[in-house]
Structure 1
């Protein structure tokens, strides 16, 4: 693993990614489709050391994924942030929604949910893409036009991915301003941009 790898968002199960750990720690409603022996400690109200078939519990996504996708022990439902009510609100005007309040890792959480929620996965994927498209222009407008003192308040409603996009936009805008002022010696490379070596003219021709 090199230092460049650590700058990339996870977007796939990644043992070393703090973003991935935090996203998959969010809880979602689950139903046990089979009885499970000696796992009663997962249910604080359980009187038995075993979990009965049909029991409903909220489990962290990483555990639900292990129990649901491979072993088919539990079936998962969408968490509150992705229920029909909030989807309708986002369809009506996605730009006004405090996405960070719904889930700090909204898009990554949704991506992890896709293989776990059966037929709902197809509509969820469409919803995630549509939501980001509707909010992207506002994110970029804010990143290019807000003053430094306004940065925190402007991005407070953004989820983690949107904040990364906002910060990238800010960095590019600031570099462009430095270039216009002929202060190119102060330019810096955006962390997410891959580093590429220079080529000699003889190599190009």
Structure 2
């Protein structure tokens, strides 16, 4: 069955999963009656300097330079930074670090004051594209994948495997049979039926009427 490519939008299930992720934030100013955001708060107010975990769907509605919270870069991107600098990201199983590594980083990029996350996401994908191409060529549809990939990489990998199989079948002349589409088949049947009716004969697809006495 044909599946559409994933384009992040409000109604995408993947996007919903990503925006449910919690992000560590530092409180910059005292927030009245917001103590419920911190399970360890001893008062109804949220005092400056406290650290709370907020869902990504809430953070992305805040202005980048909002006066209330400072978004902390998750450790997963700090861990990948060294591998990016040494061009060794192909040894990392991104699926273990985060199932939506690229999308999560894409949302956090505007709030990263050191401009590190965006560069890490870009370089990681740039270094791993060739790796994805290689493993998709060496894996069949029935083969088991030994790499844990991010959601975006998984879709690219599956698309690469299907494309490689189609190309191999074309080279081996296994896909040279042209089949008539359902639309053309129905149109041919309709045209034949109309032709029979214009000739005064009944359609073979319709039941024959019994003659009246």
What TM-score results when the alignment is normalised by the length of structure 2? 0.73
For 2:71 and 2:117, the matched residues in 1 are separated by: 14
Task: Give the equivalent residue in structure 1 for 2:143.
Answer: 150
What residue in structure 2 maps to residue 42 of structure 1? 37
Aligned equivalent of 1:182 = 174
User: For structure 2, which runs of at least 5 residues remain unmatched after alignment?
Assistant: 180-213
Larger helix share, 1 or 2: 1
Alpha-carbon offset, residue 19 of structure 1:
1.2
Partner of 1:196: none
Structure 1 runs of 4+ off > 4 angstroms?
184-187
Unaligned runs of 5+ in 1: 188-205
Aligned pair count?
176
Q: Return the alpha-carbon distance in structure 2 between the equivalents of residues 184 and 38 of structure 1.
A: 70
Tell me if the contact between 1:87 and 1:127 (Cα under 8 Å) persists in the aligned partners: yes
Deviation readout 1:5-61 (Å, 9 max, x if unpaired): x934244xx220111111222222211112222222221122222211221112222
2:125 is the counterpart of 1:128:
no
Residue 136 of structure 2 is aligned to residue 139 of structure 1: no
* Partners of 1:97 and 1:58 in 2: CA distance: 26
Structure with higher Rg: it is 2
Deviation at 1:81, TM superposition (A): 0.7
Q: Deviations over 1:44-101 (max 9, x none)?
A: 1222222112211122222222345374321101001111x43103433110001111
- Give the Cα separation in 2 of the matches to 1:94 and 1:9: 23
Corresponding residue for residue 104 of structure 1: 99
SS of corresponding position for 2:25: strand
Query: What are the within-5 Å matches in structure 2 for residues 159-170 of structure 1?
Result: 159-170=150-161
Instruction: Note the C-alpha offset of 1:165.
Output: 0.8
Match of 2:14 among 1, 16, 19: 19
Partner SS, residue 170 of structure 1: helix
Q: Match for residue 171 of structure 1?
A: 162
Is the contact between residue 91 and residue 131 of structure 1 (CA under 8 Å) also seen in structure 2? no
